[in-house]
């Protein structure tokens, strides 16, 4: 039974397990100061449980609809669960935030504060548009991943999800070493920003929804909006050039939206681009090297 379990482990399972272990290390460094003792441990246990469930159930053909759904989409659920633990660990792992340093870098690079400079174009309709584009980042990877699944390109799907997860995990690790809240919370910039970002219908509800699902506010550096959007675009360029050209202006809009909506500094976006290229090229190499030694996560009967 143990041997069968080990044989069923995929490189995706291994990557997820390694990242839980990394966050557990961060927790151990922070736990003496954090008011949250057992809650992160429950999340880690649940995350490990998801991995074990996926490994055990993936090869079975008689799974219930719920188990089948969990097995197919567990990487997405895993990301959400592990992210929700950060607010209980990060502020006590690294209590220093780097907003002042990053705002200073933006000012030095550009000669102005980007979120202040862009206010000359602020308009309620444009604000609604950019918040909607900002929100579009969340389902964006599915447009290439679902396409690969529908085309039964399972090896490519396996590699693409591994690359995506690698980009997320590099970005998540960056949060712990460089906590940054972004221009929307940095008081010296707030005092310079003279226009409120009130849209017509969409901006405020979208902003409130994001705030609810973002208990950890130290998540600006690097910009995963930039990293994941660009990674999705790179995968489209590799596997479906038609979609690449369709989504290119949308990704460009996401890059603008993170500045317009005051979620990121320009240096955050630059770091996100760097993360994307590292994840894409390193992920390709790692996956190619390890794929023959691990069970593929996705196979025709699994998706």
Q: Do 170 and 226 contact (CB within 8 A), yes or no?
A: no
Max CA distance (Å), the chain: 65
pLDDT given at position 2:
53
Q: Is the pLDDT of residue 300 over 60?
A: no
- N- to C-terminal Cα distance for the chain? 24
In contact, 273 and 171? CB cutoff 8 Å: no
Any residues with CB less than 8 A from the CB of 225 and at least 6 apart, and which? 134, 137, 254, 255, 257, 258, 263, 264, 272
Q: Taking 70 as the threshold, does the pLDDT of residue 303 lie above it?
A: no
Exposure on the CB side of residue 77, measured as CA atoms within 13 A: 16
Are 273 and 224 a contacting pair, CB within 8 Å?
no
Whole-number pLDDT of residue 295? 80
**Mean pLDDT within 77-101:** 94
Rounded CA separation 236/232 (Å): 6
Assigned token pair, 92: 């006590």
| Residue 206, pLDDT above cutoff 60 | yes
Cβ atoms 40, 89 nearer than 8 A: yes
CA atoms of 94 and 3, how far apart (whole Å):
40
CA distances from 5 to 34, 135, 248 (A): 36, 38, 41
Tokens of 156: 């490519």
pLDDT in tens, 229-271: 999 999 999 999 999 999 999 999 999 999 999 999 999 999 9
């Amino acid at each position: 039974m143990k041997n069968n379990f080990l044989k069923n482990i995929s490189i995706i399972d291994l990557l997820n397990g390694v990242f839980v272990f990394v966050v557990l290390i961060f927790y151990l460094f922070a736990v003496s100061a954090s008011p949250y003792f057992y809650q992160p441990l429950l999340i880690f246990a649940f995350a490990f449980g998801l991995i074990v469930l996926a490994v055990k159930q993936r090869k079975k053909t008689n799974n219930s609809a719920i188990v089948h759904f969990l097995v197919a989409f567990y990487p997405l659920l895993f990301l959400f669960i592990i992210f929700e633990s950060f607010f209980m660990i990060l502020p006590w792992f690294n209590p220093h935030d780097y907003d002042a340093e990053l705002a200073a870098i933006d000012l030095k690079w550009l000669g102005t504060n980007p979120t202040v400079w862009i206010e000359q174009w602020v308009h309620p309709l444009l604000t609604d548009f950019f918040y909607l584009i900002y929100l579009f980042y969340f389902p964006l990877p599915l447009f290439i991943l679902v396409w690969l699944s529908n085309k039964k390109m399972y090896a490519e799907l396996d590699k693409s999800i591994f690359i995506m997860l690698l980009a997320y995990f590099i970005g998540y690790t960056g949060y712990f070493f460089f906590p940054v809240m972004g221009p929307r919370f940095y008081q010296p910039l707030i005092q310079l920003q003279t226009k409120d970002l009130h849209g017509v219908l969409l901006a405020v509800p979208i902003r409130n929804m994001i705030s609810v699902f973002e208990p950890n506010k130290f998540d600006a550096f690097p910009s995963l909006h930039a990293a994941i959007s660009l990674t999705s675009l790179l995968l489209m360029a590799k596997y479906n050039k038609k979609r690449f050209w369709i989504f290119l202006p949308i990704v460009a809009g996401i890059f603008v939206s993170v500045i317009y909506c005051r979620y990121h500094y320009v240096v955050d976006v630059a770091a996100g681009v760097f993360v994307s290229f590292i994840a894409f090229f390193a992920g390709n190499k790692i996956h190619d090297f390890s794929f023959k030694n691990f069970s593929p996560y996705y196979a025709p009967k699994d998706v």
